[in-house]
């Protein structure tokens, strides 16, 4: 029997954070933790007020913005005291489908030793650079894990077993920002964690509708390059070790 919760890291997501949290509250009965990662836009005020009347909602504040991975780690460490075993991580910007939470956690309940990885179904209005720019990451991760068990490594709507996730995140500097999603998926596969891929829609929210993106194309793509350079070098050794362990 698993004990899951929903974790939503947020940094300066504006009014859409409140909308996202309300959608999650309406779609599921699971506990929810919002980690406010050093936000300066006062987006946390509305959800803080909401938490007063919603016992399932917890707000965790970080004084300094340290990135998605660091925010997830903070939420996971807070959860340990409450005995949670699994976490569904989703973005605060309205792109991930709250109505799919119960389905994903249902699979996690049936396969508690697996990670449940969302596979994005894009709408027709998705920017072409988002759609095609991720193809290189897909190919690199295919090589790094020796197959297509991860699929799309950049889609962050996922369920993880908490203990192995904390293990792969335990080294300082690992998986702290946008590199969180691909790195932890690869390292969990290297650990032997099974992956189950489920299709899930992506809703692109344009800026005019309140959509927010803090992805910096040069800085964060450089971070991805450095990450994959490291993983590609390590991959043959990790895959060989896994092969030996399976004998």
pLDDT one-digit tens code per residue, 54-101: 999 999 999 999 889 999 999 999 888 899 999 999 999 989 999 999
Total tally of structural domains belonging to the chain: 1
Give the percent of the chain with pLDDT over 70. Answer: 88
| Tokens encoding 131 | 């759609």
Burial 119-157 (b: 16+ CB within 10 A, else e): ebeeeeeeeeeeeeebeebeebbeebbeeebbbbbbbbb
In tens, the pLDDT along 119-174 reads: 999 876 666 556 556 788 899 999 999 999 999 998 999 999 999 999 999 887 67
Confidence at residue 163, expressed as pLDDT on a 0 to 100 scale: 95
Instruction: Kindly report the pTM of this predicted structure.
Output: 0.90
Q: Is the dihedral of CA 129, 207, 125, 99 positive or negative?
A: positive
CATH number for position 124: 3.90.550.10
Output 205 or 149, whichever has higher pLDDT.
149
* Mean per-residue pLDDT, 206-218: 54
Confidence at residue 135, expressed as pLDDT on a 0 to 100 scale: 80
Phi, psi of 168 (to 5 degrees): -70, -20
Q: Where in the sequence is the domain holding 228, given as residue range(s)? A: 4-246
Q: How far apart are CA 194 and CA 55, in angstroms?
A: 33
Cross-strand partners of 160: 87
Residue pair 216/122 in contact (Cβ under 8 Å)? The answer is no
């Amino acid at each position: 029997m698993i004990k899951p919760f929903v974790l939503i890291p947020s940094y300066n997501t504006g009014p859409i954070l409140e909308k996202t949290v309300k959608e999650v509250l309406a779609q599921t009965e699971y506990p929810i933790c919002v980690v406010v990662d050093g936000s300066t836009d006062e987006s946390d005020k509305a959800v803080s007020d909401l938490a007063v009347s919603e016992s399932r909602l917890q707000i965790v504040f970080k004084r300094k913005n340290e990135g998605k991975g660091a925010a997830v780690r903070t939420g996971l460490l807070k959860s340990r005291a409450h005995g949670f075993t699994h976490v569904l991580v989703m973005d605060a910007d309205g792109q991930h489908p709250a109505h799919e939470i119960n389905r994903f956690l249902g699979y996690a309940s049936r396969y508690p030793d697996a990670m449940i990885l969302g596979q994005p179904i894009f709408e027709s209005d998705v920017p072409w650079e988002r759609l095609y720019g991720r193809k290189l990451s897909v190919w690199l991760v295919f090589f790094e894990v020796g197959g297509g068990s991860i699929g799309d490594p950049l889609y962050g709507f996922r369920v993880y077993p908490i203990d192995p996730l904390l293990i792969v995140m335990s080294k300082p500097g690992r998986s702290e920002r946008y590199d969180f999603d691909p790195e932890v998926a690869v390292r969990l596969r290297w650990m032997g964690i099974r992956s189950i891929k489920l299709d899930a829609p992506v809703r692109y929210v344009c800026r005019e509708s309140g959509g927010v993106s803090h992805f910096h194309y040069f800085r964060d793509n450089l971070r991805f390059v450095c990450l994959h350079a490291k993983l590609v070098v390590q991959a043959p050794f990790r895959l060989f070790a896994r092969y030996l362990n399976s004998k």
